Structure 1
Amino acid sequence: MFGKKASVVRHVRNGKKEYAIMARILVVDDDDQVRTLLQHMLERLGHEVVAATNGNEALRLYKQAPTDMIFMDLIMPGKEGIETITDFRREFPDAKIVAMSGGGRMGPENYLDLAKKLGAQRTMSKPFTFGQVQEMVEKILEKK
């Protein structure tokens, strides 16, 4: 499955589009509970999940086997998310990144706003719901 791109199958049922999406997704968060929760949500949606606890580990794993998208926490020890997003943009400009944060500011700027300016396609505030995660995956993978 390594290196496999997302397989998006569209079905129309009762006039509504439905998506059966199978993807490899990298989850980057130093908080074990958040990382595990997000991993379980994504697996419940049928996706394969690769997990990292910091930016350095995320870059290493992505270099070994690129994923279809990335959920990136912004505040982590070591290499934090803002710096890691910048590195991904430089090394892997096509990487699909969702920045996530429980809040915080960097001077006058909100972390999620800054992440968007630096190249995250979407942002998601913590705490998040199953529905928000599902919607985020569908929106990112639809653009492939």
Structure 2
Amino acid sequence: MARILVIDDDDTVRLSVRLALEDADHLVEDAGDGEKGVALFRENPADLVVTDIFMPEKEGLETIDEIKRLRPETKIVAISGGGRMDPDDYLTIAKSVGADRSLLKPFDIDNLVEVVDALLNE
């Protein structure tokens, strides 16, 4: 059982991801923005983080960078549905700052669980 932190300002996405990962026997915490997510991570580091890119308080790219500085071995899955640029561009940038994998919203929840499990088994 891995410790996973889900960070997303969309309550529906955050709850869906949390429930799917809990169903896959993971221990999951969640936060509604990057600031709260990093604070939770500092208190109790996760094995893996799933984070949105566009959030209030602290953007996902900044969140990824800070988490990787705190604990470089933490696996990170970046998720995004858009912005001013093509969403794929943001996900490419997320990988350059430390995300191990990225998924474009909307994504298949079963695919997310497969990605998470594969990263945890690397």
How high is the TM-score relative to the length of structure 1? 0.78
Aligned residue in 2 for 1:130: 109
Mark the structure with the bigger radius of gyration: 1
Counterparts of residues 1-144 of structure 1 (less than 5 Å): 22-106=1-85, 110-143=89-122
- Shifted more, 67-76 versus 90-99: the winner is 90-99
Residue 24 of structure 1 aligns with an amino acid whose one-letter code is R
Greater share of strand = 1
What one-letter code is carried by the residue in structure 1 that aligns with 2:94?
A
Q: Point out which structure has higher relative CO (alpha carbons under 8 A, 6+ apart).
A: 2
> What is the CA RMSD across the aligned residues, in angstroms?
1.6
Distance in 2, Cα, partners of 1:111 & 1:135:
22
In structure 2, what residue type is equivalent to 1:47? H
Identity %, equivalent residues: 45
Distance in 2, matches of 1:66 and 1:42, equals 17
Q: Gaps (5+ residues) in structure 1?
A: 1-21
Q: TM-score, normalised by structure 2?
A: 0.91
Paired residues, number: 121
